[in-house]
Structure 1
Amino acid sequence: MDDERLEAEGEVAVARLSIDSGDLRHAAAHLGNALTAAPQLPDAYEALAELAVAAGGPAAALELFSAEEPYIGAVACIAHLHAAAGHWDSALPALASVIGADPERPWAEVAWLADPDLPGQVPPDAVTQAVAVLVRTLPDPLPPRLREGVGPFYALVRACVGAHPGHSLLHTVGSTLARRFGDSAVAVAWAEHARDLDPGHWQAVVLGGALRAAGRRDEALAVWEAEIARDPSDVDLYVDVAELHRDCGRPAEGLAWLDRGLAVEPDHPKALPASFALRHAVEGGTENLLALSDHLRSHPEHGYAAALLAELCEDRPWLGHVHPASEASVNVLHQMLANPESARDHEIELLSSALEAPSTRLAVRMGFPNSKIDYQSVAEPDPRVPQYRTDTPLWLFEGPEGLDARPALDPPSARAAELLRDVAEPAWPAPVAAYDHAVRLSGLDPEDLLAVCVHPPLPREDEQGAYLLGRQPEMWVRAVQTFACLGLAHHRADEPWADSRRRAFLLDLLFGPEDWTNEAAGFALLATAWADPDAREDVGARLVDRMMAVGKAWRERDATSLASLCRLVLACPWLDETFLGLAEKMLKAVAEFDARTPQEDEERRTGITAELEARASGAHAPQGVPKPRSFLKRLFGRAR
C-alpha cells in the first residue's frame, strides 16, 4: 500500500506540473495513472478538479481522456468528471464498470457517491443501467473479501430503490446485487415487489433466482416453471429449472426440462452441456464427462461447458488432479512434516521391510534432503521387472541385492527443469485442459522430459509451492512427472499415433518397473485419448493390460498403483463393460481391503514411524506384520 501511494503521489505531482505548464492532456494521463495506483488517494481527486478548472469545466476535461481503449484509471477519471458535470447516465455506469473490473480495490470510496442527496437526484434508469453493468462481472455470491470494495455502491443502490418504489426494473436488477451480497430476504422482497409492479419475464427470472438463493427451491421452481408455461422461448430458463431439479436430488426430472429446451433450440450453448452433466448425475461413470469434453473440444467458445466440466472433474483423481500416493513412506513423510519440531535439514533414516516405488525416495528427499531410505527385501512378483521389454529405463537398481534405486539418466538441462517448474500443476480443470496446458513443453528434448521424471525441480516459490514443499512434496513430484509425460505426449504431434515416438515413450514408461511414472504415463495416454478419438481404442487396451498385470501382483503383495490404474481405466468409457466392471471391482476391493484391516494398517504405519530417527540415535524398529491376502486371492481368482 505504501508503494502504491508513493507511486500515485508522484503521478499527481507530475500532473500538477503539467497543468501549470498548460499540457492538460499530459496531466490527464498522469491522473489516470495515479488512480490506477491508488484509487483512494484524496490528492488525485483534488488534482482532477484542478484539471477540470484549467480545461474550462468537467465536460471540457472529458475530451482530454481517450475513449477508444482507456485503461482503468482513465475510466475512473471519466466517471468522476461526468459526476461533477451531473451526467449521471454516464457517471454511474462508468464507475460500475471500473468496480466490476477490479472489485477488490476501493473505487467506490468517493465523496460524491456517499452524498445523502444523491439518491433523489439520479434518474432511476441510470442506476438500473449501472447495476446491470456491475453484476455482469461480479461473482454470485460475492466473496466476503470483495464486499467492502463494492459496499458503497450497494449502499447507493439500496437508497435509490427506497427513493423510487414504483420502478420495477430498478427493483429487479437491485435484487440481483442484493443476492450477491447474501441479503436473501432483501433480494426476495425487491424481486416480489418488482413482479407486483410489472409481471414481466425478467421479473420472474430474477424472483426465481432470489428464492433459490434463499433456499426456497420449490417456490423458485414454481415461479420459473410457470414463466416457461407463459413464455416458452427462453432456453436459459429451462437450464435453470433443470439444474435446480438436480440440486434437489431429481436429475432425471431436470433432464426432461432440458429435452424440452433443446427442442426449442437444439444448439443452445448451455442446454446441451447441461444435459451431459445431468445424465452424468443419473448414470454415473465417465461417459457423459467425455461427451461434455468432446462438446467443448468442438465448441471451445462455450464457457459454460468448460465451467461444468471443471466442476464435475474437481476432486476426482486423474480427472481433476494427480492421484494421491499411498506408500507407507509417504504416510510417514506426512507425519514428519506435520511435526512442529521437524526441519528440512534434519537427518532422517527410514527402514522398510519391502521395496517401494523408486519415486517415493524423490518425495521423501524433497521434504528432507538429508534423509536415508533403506529396504530389506523385494516382495514377489518382483516390481523391478518391466511388464514388457522397454527401451527407456528411468531407474537402475544397484547394491548387493538391487535394493538401491538410482536415476538412470543425468539431470535435465536447466532450461527444461525451469520450464517444468513453471508449467507443472497438481490440479487441472479436466484431462484435455491438462493436455493443452502442457503444449508449452512440446519443444523440449524427450531426454530432458524423461530426465526430469527422476530429477524433479523444487516447487515454485509461491504460496502453493511453499505448501507442497512443506506438507505434500509427493504431490509435486507426481505433478512434475505427470506434466513431463504430457510433454512427451506432444512430441512430434504430427506423427500418426500408432507409429509415433510419443506413443513409444509413453508405453515404455507405462509398462516399466512399478513406479509413479507408470501412472503419470497412463494419465498422459488418457489425456491424449480424450483429446484425440483416434487414439482411444489403443489407449484403453494398454491401460487395461497394465491394470490387469498390477492386479495380479496385488494378490501377493502391495501394489500401490492399482487404485490409480483402475481409475485411469474407468476414465475410458469407450471400453467394453467387462473391463470397466473389472476396474470397478478391483477399486472396490482396494477400499474394502483397507477398511477390513484398520488395526493392522495402523500397526504397519506405527512400525514405520518408529523407524524414523535422527541419525544420531541410529535406532531402527521392525516394520510390522504384512496384511493377509487370502480373500483377495478368492476375489481375483477368476479375474482374467
Structure 2
Amino acid sequence: MDERLEAEGEVAVARLAIDSGDLEHAAAHLGNALTVAPQLPDAYEALAELAVAAGGNAAALGLFDMDEPYIGTVACIAQLHAAAGRWDSALPALASVIGADPERPWAEVAWLADPALPGLVPPDAVTQAVAVLVRTLPEPLPPQLREGVGPFYALVRACVTAHPGHSLLHTMASTLARRFGDMAEAVEWAEDACRLEPGHWQAVVLGGALRAAGRPDEALAVWEAEIARDPSDVDLYVDVAELHRHGGRPAEGLAWLDRGLAVEPEHPKALPASFALRHAVDGGTAQLLALSDHLRAHPEHGYAAALLAELCEDEPWLGHVHPAFEASVNVLHRMLANPKTARDHEIELLGSALEAPSTRLAVRMGFPNSKIDYQSVAAPDPRVPQYEVVTPLWRFDGPQGLDARPALDPPSAESAELVRDVTALAWPAPVAAYDHAVRLSGLDPEDLLALCVHPPLPRRDEQGAYLLGRQPEMWVRAVQTFACLGIAHHRADEPWMDSRRRALLLDLLFGPEDWTNEAAGFALLATAWADPEAREDVGVRLVDRMMAVGKAWRERDATSLASLCRLVLACPWLDETFLDLAEKMLSAAKEFDARSPEGDEERRSGITAELEARQSRESAPAARGSKPRSLLGRLFGRTR
C-alpha cells in the first residue's frame, strides 16, 4: 500500500475516534500516521483537533502512551509541545525523533521553519536538543541524511546568530557543524565558546573541531592543556592517544593511555585503546587477539568493537576473505573485464599444470559454458592429501586424473539458500564471522560439505551482480568459508579434541590442495579466537599444513601458501619460531610474485585461454619459470 494512503487511512480512523470520544484510540492512530508519513498535513491538523477535543495541548499529551513510545508518538508529543510554546520540551523531543531516523523528513514541520522561532526559543533548549541529536548522528553525515537533518541545522545556525553570547550553544552547534562538514564554522563556534566561557566541555569540543579540520597539532595542544588543568576525564586521554596513533606516534599515545588507566584502570575506552596502540607499536596479531578477548569478556564495550573492526578491516582473513591467485582466476578476470564477452560464451582454458579444483567452480560460475583442461600434474602431486581423508570432496577423473569433479551430491535447496543468505565476504573480526555463522549450526554437516563443491549463485542484489560479473571466485571462496564456519558450530557442546566438527575441519584442511583447505583453516582459526581451549591444537594444525604446502612450493606453484601463512600469523600464541617462519615464507611468496612483469598475468601463469565467441579465439603464451629452491630452509613435518 502507498505510504500516504496508509497514513490517510490512519488519520480517517483517528477522526472517527475523536468524534466518538475515544481520544486515546485517536492518539494511537495519529502516532501511526506520522510514523508512516511524517510530512502529512492532515495528520497535524487532526492532532490539533485532538487537542481541542481533549481540552488543550497539555491534556492531549496525557493521551499518548509514554511507557514504550513509538517514533510517531514522540513526533506527536513534539508537535503538541510546540503548539503550546513549550520549546524546552518540543525541541529535544523532535531532535530525538530526527536522530532515531534521520533519513525521513521529521524536521519538515511548519513550526520549525517559523522565521521568528530563533528569537523565541531559549538557547538552553536548543543546546539540549543538539546534544540529543548528535548523540546518534554519524560524523560526517552521509549525503542521504543531510536533507532530513538540514531544517534542524538551519534553526541551530539562526539561533547561534540570535544568541551570540551563549557559550554552550556555540559549543554544541560546533559538534553539529562538524557532522555537516562545515569545518570553518565548527572551529569558529568552538573558539567563540572558549572565549565566552572557558570550560572543560568547551575545550573538548574545540579540540574535536580542530582535529576534524585537519589541524591535529593544535587539537593536541588544546587537549593536553585541558588534561593539565583537569586530569579527571579519561575519555580525553583516549582522544589524545588516538590522535598520536593516527599521527604515527603510537608510543607517545601509549604514555597518555597509561596515565589515563592510572586514573581509571577498567575504563571502557582506555583499555581497548591500549591494545590498539600496542598493536601499532609491536605489529603482529597478539594485541588484536587481546582486544578480541577483551570484547568477548565485555561485549557491551562498543568502542572495543569499533577499534577491532578498524584494525582488521584491510587484513586478509582477519577482516575479509583471502583473495585467490590461480592463473585461471587471472584469466577469468581478464575475460570478465572484456566488454565483448558474455556469460553464455564458450570458454576453453588449457593450463600447463593442475590447479586447485575449486578454480573450476569459479570459472564456471562466471562462464557456465566453459571447459577447463590441464596438461600435467606438477610434483609433489597436489591431489594427494597430506593425511588420510574420511570424506573426500573431489574425485579426479580422466585418463591422467586431471578432471576434478565434486565427489558429493548437491545439498538440499533449503541448506543452499540459508548459506547463500548468511555468506559474507567481510566481517569485523574472526570471532564476528564465527558468531555470524551460528545460523548454520542446525544444518546437516553433509550439506555443508556439499556446499563447498556446489556453491549457490550469489544473491540477487547489487553486490551479487558485481561478484558474478567481475569476481565470482570471491563468492565461491566466501561460500566455502561460511560452510566451514557452519561446520565449526556442529555439536558445539562436544569437547573440542574429540568433536566431530574438529575431525571434519581437519579432513578439509589436510585434503588435496584446494581453496577448501584455506576455508577450513579460517574456520579453525575463528574457533580458536572464540575458544581459548582450542588454540594450542589449532595452531599446531595450521603450522603443519603451512609447512607441507611450503615444501611443495619449493618445487612448484602452491597458491595457497600466502593464505596459510597469514592464518598461522593470526595465531600469536604460537612459538616465535613458527611465527618468524610464517613471516619469512609469506615474504618469499610475495617477493616471487612481485618479480613477474605487471600486466602479463597469462605469460606468468602458464595458462592458455581460448574464447570461442563466434568470431574470436585468444590464447596465452607459455608457462612461468621455476622457483628458486633456497628461500625456505626450516621445514619439517608433524603428524596429526
Shared fold per TM-score greater than 0.5: yes
Give the match for residue 284 of structure 2: 285
Compared CA separation, residues 3 and 608, structure 1 to 2 (3 A): farther
Shift of 1:432: 0.6
Please tell me whether residue 331 in structure 1 is matched to residue 327 in structure 2.
no
The two structures have a TM-score, normalised by structure 2, of: 0.96
Write the deviation string for residues 102-122 of structure 1: whole angstroms up to 9, x where unpaired: 111111011110111101111
Q: Is contact 1:353-1:623 (8 Å) kept?
A: no
Deviates more, 1:57-66 or 1:162-171: 57-66
Shift of 1:156: 0.6
Shift of 1:572: 0.7
1:634 to 612, 630, 636: 630
Give the match for residue 535 of structure 2: 536
Q: Is contact 2:99-2:137 (8 Å) kept?
A: yes
Which amino acid counterpart does residue 121 of structure 1 have in structure 2?
Answer: L
Shift of 1:29: 2.0
Shift of 1:190: 1.3
Give the match for residue 51 of structure 2: 52
- Work out the percentage of aligned pairs sharing the same amino acid: 86
Give the match for residue 232 of structure 2: 233
Write the deviation string for residues 199-234 of structure 1: whole angstroms up to 9, x where unpaired: 111111111111111111111111111111111111
Shift of 1:293: 0.6
Which amino acid counterpart does residue 422 of structure 2 have in structure 1?
Answer: V
Write the deviation string for residues 26-57 of structure 1: whole angstroms up to 9, x where unpaired: 22222222211221222222222233233333
Q: Is contact 1:58-1:85 (8 Å) kept?
A: yes
Give the match for residue 510 of structure 2: 511
Which amino acid counterpart does residue 540 of structure 1 have in structure 2?
Answer: G
Please tell me whether residue 193 in structure 1 is matched to residue 192 in structure 2.
yes
Deviates more, 1:444-453 or 1:348-357: 348-357
| 1:86-485 paired onto structure 2 within 5 Å | 86-485=85-484
| 1:12-91 paired onto structure 2 within 5 Å | 12-91=11-90
Write the deviation string for residues 74-106 of structure 1: whole angstroms up to 9, x where unpaired: 111111111011111111011000000011111
Compared CA separation, residues 203 and 600, structure 1 to 2 (3 A): closer
Q: Is contact 1:78-1:91 (8 Å) kept?
A: yes
Distance 2:585 2:275 in 1: 27
Q: Is contact 1:48-1:77 (8 Å) kept?
A: yes
1:350 counterpart SS class: strand
Give the match for residue 4 of structure 2: 5
2:547 counterpart SS class: helix
Shift of 1:360: 0.9
Write the deviation string for residues 358-400 of structure 1: whole angstroms up to 9, x where unpaired: 1111111122222221222111111100011111200011111
1:625 to 619, 623, 633: 623
Which amino acid counterpart does residue 72 of structure 1 have in structure 2?
Answer: I
Q: Is contact 1:16-1:27 (8 Å) kept?
A: yes
Q: Is contact 1:325-1:474 (8 Å) kept?
A: yes
Shift of 1:605: 6.3
Distance 1:610 1:352 in 2: 8
Shift of 1:618: 9.5
Distance 1:538 1:305 in 2: 27
Q: Is contact 2:295-2:301 (8 Å) kept?
A: yes
Deviates more, 1:60-69 or 1:95-104: 60-69
2:352 counterpart SS class: strand
Q: Is contact 2:331-2:609 (8 Å) kept?
A: no
Shift of 1:603: 4.5
Q: Is contact 2:285-2:571 (8 Å) kept?
A: yes
Distance 2:331 2:27 in 1: 61
Distance 1:627 1:309 in 2: 41
> Gapped runs of 5+ residues in structure 1?
none
Q: Is contact 1:355-1:376 (8 Å) kept?
A: yes
Compared CA separation, residues 290 and 607, structure 1 to 2 (3 A): closer
Q: Is contact 2:245-2:277 (8 Å) kept?
A: yes
User: How many residue pairs align between the two structures?
Assistant: 636
Shift of 1:638: 5.1
Write the deviation string for residues 538-568 of structure 1: whole angstroms up to 9, x where unpaired: 1111111111111111122111101100100
Give the match for residue 527 of structure 1: 526
Which amino acid counterpart does residue 167 of structure 1 have in structure 2?
Answer: H
Which amino acid counterpart does residue 126 of structure 1 have in structure 2?
Answer: A
Compared CA separation, residues 600 and 464, structure 1 to 2 (3 A): closer
Q: Is contact 2:352-2:623 (8 Å) kept?
A: no
Shift of 1:189: 1.4
Compared CA separation, residues 445 and 106, structure 1 to 2 (3 A): same
Shift of 1:63: 2.0
Compared CA separation, residues 563 and 264, structure 1 to 2 (3 A): same
Distance 1:247 1:452 in 2: 42
Which amino acid counterpart does residue 426 of structure 1 have in structure 2?
Answer: L
Write the deviation string for residues 464-508 of structure 1: whole angstroms up to 9, x where unpaired: 222222222111111111111111111122222122111111111
1:97 counterpart SS class: helix
Distance 2:531 2:103 in 1: 41
Distance 1:337 1:61 in 2: 63
Distance 2:458 2:42 in 1: 43
Distance 2:607 2:494 in 1: 48
Alpha-carbon RMSD:
1.8
2:396 counterpart SS class: strand
Which amino acid counterpart does residue 430 of structure 1 have in structure 2?
Answer: A
Shift of 1:349: 2.1
Deviates more, 1:543-552 or 1:412-421: 412-421
Please tell me whether residue 555 in structure 1 is matched to residue 554 in structure 2.
yes
Shift of 1:339: 2.5
Q: Is contact 1:140-1:180 (8 Å) kept?
A: yes
Distance 1:352 1:325 in 2: 16
Q: Is contact 1:594-1:601 (8 Å) kept?
A: no
Distance 1:620 1:127 in 2: 68
Q: Is contact 1:331-1:605 (8 Å) kept?
A: no
Distance 1:197 1:618 in 2: 75
Distance 2:309 2:433 in 1: 11
Distance 1:18 1:41 in 2: 19
Deviates more, 1:147-156 or 1:601-610: 601-610
Q: Is contact 1:600-1:627 (8 Å) kept?
A: no
Q: Is contact 2:596-2:604 (8 Å) kept?
A: no
Shift of 1:61: 2.0
Q: Is contact 1:522-1:565 (8 Å) kept?
A: yes
Distance 2:275 2:126 in 1: 39
Which amino acid counterpart does residue 373 of structure 2 have in structure 1?
Answer: D
Shift of 1:600: 9.0
Q: Is contact 1:438-1:483 (8 Å) kept?
A: yes
Please tell me whether residue 573 in structure 1 is matched to residue 572 in structure 2.
yes
> Gapped runs of 5+ residues in structure 2?
none
Which amino acid counterpart does residue 14 of structure 2 have in structure 1?
Answer: A
Distance 2:92 2:407 in 1: 63
Distance 1:607 1:591 in 2: 18
Write the deviation string for residues 545-601 of structure 1: whole angstroms up to 9, x where unpaired: 111111111122111101100100110111111111111111111121111121694
Q: Is contact 1:380-1:556 (8 Å) kept?
A: yes
Distance 1:4 1:555 in 2: 65
1:612 counterpart SS class: strand
Which amino acid counterpart does residue 210 of structure 2 have in structure 1?
Answer: L
